[in-house]
Amino acid sequence: MDVKTLYTLVAVADRGSFAEAGKAIGLTLSAVSMQMRALEEELGTVLFDRTRRPPVLTPSGLRLIDGARDLIAHWESLSDSLKRDVSGGVLKLGAVHTSVSGWLPLALRRLQKQGQGIEIRLTTGLTHELEMEVFHGQLDVALVTEPEMTRGELQFHAFFEEPMVVIAHKTAVGRTDKELLENNPYVRFNRMARVGRMVTAEMDRRGLEVQSAMEIDSVEGVIAMVANGLGVSVVPNRGVANEFPATIRTLPFGDPPLMRRLGLLMPRDNPRAHLSYALLEALQDVCKPRMRKSA
């Protein structure tokens, strides 16, 4: 086993496929495949499940990755001239729709400025959809509302709590959240979304009776309808600049307000865990000013 082979192994883990690893380190697909076959023969173990496309690391492969990173770090510490970038890689990221126009762009911009070298492949969806994609290895990590139940193979790392607010046009009738919701048409956020179910459950608990006028699957769409006087709604207050138009007023939903907990959901055995944790750290950093303001 030589250091070049370890670089290749780490590149495969970080990039997600033999082909992408080859592009990153300047090897052909066949050269990467031959190196990995030779490494498996040398160690006497199967490192990749080749029944899947692209091949994925086996439990033995996952255990080897951490050791490989440590060995590379020791090797590189011997001479600056030997250093290569092994911090970057491809991160297959899922995110709930509400985060894409909230905290996520700020965190990705921070990663970019830090020169992390992480290539993001982003897909959006509902929390329960993204959870299944992380569970089946289709995503490395997902930014989601805290799941109702977390599978043992997955771990949830919370980074922020967002208060839920009632939003209404300035001309809407009502002084309290209850009056606004019961005396105006209700613009419902997607009831299949975790946050939508949270709001419905809280309304049921409080005995609130609303008259649903429409249902929309994006927070931006809900806000636009309310801003034009078509009803009232309940949405997360994400704390981003210029989130609500000047025609909208807000009230806390409940006392204390209902809170939505956001976090990153990732596998416990994750060959790109270092990339996921870099994203988590960036999310925590961009949320700090809002957390201090709320304290």
d(CA 16, CA 90): 7
Matching fold, domains 3-83 and 89-159+262-289: no
More confident position, 260 or 73: 260
d(CA 55, CA 84): 24
Residue 79 has pLDDT above 80, yes or no: no
Q: Is residue 18 helix, strand or coil? A: helix
The distance in angstroms from the start CA to the end CA of the chain is 53
Q: Where are the domains of the chain?
A: 3-83, 89-159+262-289, 161-259
Pairing verdict, β 118-125 and 211-216: unpaired
CATH of the structural domain 89-159+262-289, one choice from 1.10.10.10, 3.30.10.20, 3.40.462.20, 3.40.190.10: 3.40.190.10
* pTM metric for this prediction: 0.67
d(CA 132, CA 93): 13
Residue 128 has pLDDT above 60, yes or no: yes
Tokens matching residue 187: 């613009």
113 contacts 286 by C-beta, under 8 angstroms: no
The residue assigned the tokens 């995503």 is 139
When pLDDT is cut at 50, 70 and 90, the band that residue 75 belongs to is low
**For 193-236, what is each residue's pLDDT tens digit?**
888 899 999 999 999 999 998 999 888 899 999 999 999 999 99
**For 231-270, what is each residue's pLDDT tens digit?**
999 999 887 777 899 999 999 999 999 999 999 999 887 7
Angle at which helices 29-43 and 3-15 pack, to 10 degrees? 110
Mean of the per-residue pLDDT values of the chain: 86
d(CA 42, CA 2): 11
Class of domain 161-259: alpha beta
Residue 131 has pLDDT above 80, yes or no: yes
Vertex 147 angle, CA 295 and 250, to 5° = 45
On the CB side of 272, how many CA atoms lie within 13 Å of its CA? Answer: 30
d(CA 222, CA 232): 9
283 contacts 93 by C-beta, under 8 angstroms: no
Of 57-71, 79-93, 103-117, 161-175, which gets the smallest average pLDDT?
A: 79-93
Residue 17 has pLDDT above 70, yes or no: yes
Could you please state the CATH topology (level 3) that the domain comprising 3-83 is classified under: Arc Repressor Mutant, subunit A (1.10.10)
Largest Cα–Cα distance of the chain, in whole Å? 75
Q: Is residue 225 helix, strand or coil? A: helix
Top-ranked range on mean pLDDT: pick from 97-111, 116-130, 145-159, 201-215: 201-215
Q: How far is CA 6 from the centre of its chain?
A: 29
